Amino acid sequence: MRIGIDARTILNPEHGNTIGSGHYTYQFIRHLLEEDKENQYVIFFDFRVREKDVKKFTRENVSIRFYPFSDYKKYLPGAYSELLGRATLVREKLDILHSTSPISRIPAGYRGKTVSTFHNLGVFAYGDLYPRMRKVRDRALMRFMAQKTNHIIAVSDALAEDVSKKFERKREDITVIHTGVDSRFFEEPKIDGSKFREKCGIDSPYILFLGTLSPINNITRLLEAFAKFCEKSKENKKYQLVLAGKRDWMTKEFKQMAKDLGIASRLVFTGYVVGDDLVPLFKASEFFIMPSLYEGFGSTVLEALATGTPTLASRVTSIPEIAGDAVRFFDPLDKDAMAEEMDIFAHDEAMRKEYAQKGPEQAKKYTWKKTAQETLEVYKKLS
């Protein structure tokens, strides 16, 4: 087979890597190429990506292509992706084209067989929590791709059900393939992370949140719950709440809210954490909390589990499916319940150890090798 993969969610010079789908695309392609030496692959990148940045993807059975029309976007806002995009794809004579995110739109005129991976429908479930233009754009792209593509890959059973209902696609048109966990989260870190924590001002026992600082991740209730947690006892006031992740459109409001709640001095914003600092940040925390209102998969909770970090998480969408009994759950809409669970975890070391031991075994169920193998089976069935 000759298989095309749209990799524009990574190495994108205009937008940077799309946090969730970009990581998925990078790891998925890397492991797929390790698994499959027989089929021919054509990987498409943005025109402006430097050739030296894509050398890591080169193999004997891999061709690298660049969408040549990126520079013309401002002159041909509608036609550039349809006419030139279609021509670029048709020229490659693909048996299968895989769009690793519905945000990477397949031209409407393209008639070849297609697969699209869906990661999240939060923009439909909680549309008011997204900037208006992003909501309109993402909803339109997802609706189009859900109907355009021949087969959909959903990253969880919960998401597959949502996709089927929202876009009226038959369940047999949707395959559930879970995302993997990077092996580095199971390994002992190369550094202890003390320099990074010192730089960020982390100098007390801390509760860790990791993720984009967006409303869909329930940051408002997390701050309110943390304020209630601090009020429960003098001992709780020694804790810091570390918000690690990319800033989003309401970050300023969250900082003001922390001041209004009287917890600004106990709050740490680290920004986006990369490289060797991430695993030590998990391991040094007292526990991890994931208060999301919606998760298509929930990679971050698995990363916490892989590092042996005791974890509290929302009982919503895909999280119970992915985490099993390795986390302690709460209702994300109930800030009092969230604060109570934080208080229980903070004072029960034996419970934290129990959940820390369960974590790695649960996380080991999800590998990128399995993701790649199961996706390859989808290609074979569709060809």
pLDDT band, very low/low/confident/very high, at 152 (cuts 50, 70, 90): very high
Using the predicted structure, report yes or no on whether residue 347 has a pLDDT greater than 90.
Answer: yes
pLDDT of residue 16: 45
Does 350 share its domain with 371? no
- How far is Cα 338 from Cα 349, in angstroms, rounded to an integer? 18
SS3 97: strand
Instruction: Specify the higher pLDDT residue, 56 or 48.
Output: 56
Does 372 share its domain with 321? no
Q: What is the mean pLDDT of residues 257-283?
A: 95
Mean pLDDT check: name the lowest of 48-57, 172-181, 219-228, 255-264. Answer: 48-57
Mean pLDDT check: name the lowest of 57-66, 225-234, 355-364. Answer: 57-66
- How far is Cα 25 from Cα 10, in angstroms, rounded to an integer? 7
Q: What is the mean pLDDT of residues 131-147?
A: 95
**Could you tell me where the beta strands, DSSP code E, fall in the chain?**
2-6, 40-46, 62-67, 96-99, 114-118, 151-154, 174-176, 206-210, 240-244, 267-271, 287-290, 311-314, 328-330
Does 35 share its domain with 154? yes
Does 220 share its domain with 82? no
- How far is Cα 70 from Cα 364, in angstroms, rounded to an integer? 40
Does 70 share its domain with 160? yes
Share of the chain above pLDDT 90, in %: 82
pLDDT band, very low/low/confident/very high, at 17 (cuts 50, 70, 90): very low
Region of residue 97 (left: phi > 0; alpha: psi -120 to 50; beta: else): beta
pLDDT band, very low/low/confident/very high, at 67 (cuts 50, 70, 90): confident
Number of domains in the chain: 2
Q: Which letter does DSSP use for residue 83 in this model?
A: I
Does 56 share its domain with 191? no
Does 278 share its domain with 154? no
pLDDT band, very low/low/confident/very high, at 15 (cuts 50, 70, 90): very low
Does 109 share its domain with 188? no
| Average pLDDT along the chain | 92
Using the predicted structure, report yes or no on whether residue 14 has a pLDDT greater than 60.
Answer: no
Using the predicted structure, report yes or no on whether residue 77 has a pLDDT greater than 60.
Answer: no
Starting at the edge strand found earlier in the chain, the sheet holding 328-330 runs: 267-271, 240-244, 206-210, 287-290, 311-314, 328-330
Structural domain span for residue 270: 183-363
Does 202 share its domain with 229? yes
The domain that holds 292 is classified in CATH as 3.40.50.2000
Does 163 share its domain with 195? no
Top-confidence range, 10-24, 73-87, 149-163, 249-263: 149-163
pLDDT of residue 55: 83
Does 153 share its domain with 188? no
Does 148 share its domain with 202? no
SS3 354: helix
